[in-house]
Structure formats: C-alpha cells, structure tokens
Amino acid sequence: GDSVTQMEGPVTLSEEAFLTINCTYTATGYPSLFWYVQYPGEGLQLLLKATKADDKGSNKGFEATYRKETTSFHLEKGSVQVSDSAVYFCALSGGGSNYKLTFGKGTLLTVNP
C-alpha cells in the first residue's frame, strides 16, 4: 500500500536559517503530493502541492519538487521565521476512486528568535 516517510524531528532552528524537511513516498501509479502545516491548536492548512513529476509547488517562501526518480518531495525554505513554528505533514493521494490521504508522521519545527 501507499506510505510516506518523513523526518520526525523535532527540528529546532534559529531565525533566518535554511530549512529542509525530508519526505519520501511509496505508491503505485502517479500520486499527487502535498505538504500540510498545522499551527498549535489549529486544523491542517494546505501549504503546497504537486501533481506530476518535476512539478515544483511553492507558497509563502516554501518549496518542494516532485522527484519521481528518487520518490521524494522534500520541503525547503531559505530563511525561516519564528511564525513558521508548527508541525509539517507530508502527504500523498493515490487518486482514482480512492480519496484517501496518506500522511507522514509529522515534523515539529521550532524556530527561535
């Protein structure tokens, strides 16, 4: 079945540091890939997505590229802010009539001033 593996952290960075959160996946066919962010006490927000190989999703300074050859979708940001402190989930949707999202375990990011 489908699965997502992401670095679990926690990750602690200083403000303006470079961020990478690794995500790899296993899926049949051509999944869509997502990064969701969850701020403390809130629901999940869609951060970015990519639907086919070599697509780059981007939003709010975050980027991730759909790499089919390495089955990866790593999240990056060049300069993090304190307000980026949250839990980040990598997820995939296998498509077809299966509406399920398969999530990674989540990575807690803390950014210190």
Partner 1 sequence: DTEVTQTPKHLVMGMTNKKSLKCEQHMGHRAMYWYKQKAKKPPELMFVYSYEKLSINESVPSRFSPECPNSSLLNLHLHALQPEDSALYLCASSQDNQGAQDREQYFGPGTRLTVT
For partner 1, the binding residues (CB under 8 A) are 30, 32, 34, 36, 42-46, 49, 51-52, 89, 93, 95-97, 99-101, 103-106, 108
Q: Count Cα atoms within 13 angstroms, Cβ side, for 57.
A: 21
Q: How far is the CB of 46 from partner 1 (least distance, A)?
A: 5
> CB of 74 within 8 A of CB of 20?
yes
Q: How far is the CB of 36 from partner 1 (least distance, A)?
A: 8
Give the nearer residue to partner 1 in terms of CB position, either 69 or 99. Answer: 99
Residue 84: helix, strand or coil by DSSP?
helix
Give the bridge partners for 37, in sequence order. 45, 88
